[in-house]
Amino acid sequence: MPPAPVTRFERLTIPEVILITPPRLGDERGFFSETWNAARYAEAGIAAEFVQDNHSLSAIAGTLRGLHCQIAPSVQGKLVRVLRGAIWDVAVDIRVGSPSYGRHVAAELSAANWAQLWIPGGFLHGFCTLAPDTEVTYKITAGYDQAAERGVIWNDPDLAVPWPVTAAAAVLSAKDTKLPRLA
């Protein structure tokens, strides 16, 4: 019997952000996938205690959510995955003193590629939908705390994130249109 496929963990150019691809074991009935295993993920450097799962649906391609974070005492790490559709997922390092402060990493997450993104605390997070009716779920390490909520405008020129949507075509919440620049 061949060995079971293993979850792939790939550190991105900011190594604390990890692209994860769990295997899907399929047959004529469908598939099974282990999308979280505390022991295996801890071995890969993700020793997270999740307290909440969030689920969003974006009806329109080009919907942009972000860039958001929470500061102490409610800093959030996030494990993001797509159940339907696809997103361009972005993490921006805002850890004071970090050598990668102000830099970003991004990855396409989709139902087809089954990839996940681990974004530790201390990072802004945002995503843009690449398909209509995209569903995203993410596990978080701290609950929502309005007093700790912060954000940066998605198209801050100093960040130079290569979003797959123009400013004219981006679908944003009213709140996200008013966020400040990182500087």
Q: Where in the sequence numbering do the catalytic residues fall?
A: 68, 138
Nearest to 172 by CA among 131, 140, 139, 126: 126
Distance of alpha carbon 23 from alpha carbon 95, whole angstroms:
32
Residue 175 backbone class (left: φ over 0; alpha: ψ -120 to 50; beta: rest) = alpha
CB 48 within 8 A of CB 138: no
Structure tokens at 132: 């209509």
What stretches of the chain show up as alpha helix (H) in DSSP? 38-43
CB 14 within 8 A of CB 103: yes
Distance of alpha carbon 89 from alpha carbon 119, whole angstroms:
10
Name beta bridge partners: 91: 105, 125
- The percent of the chain in helix, strand and coil, each rounded to the nearest 5, is 5, 40, 55
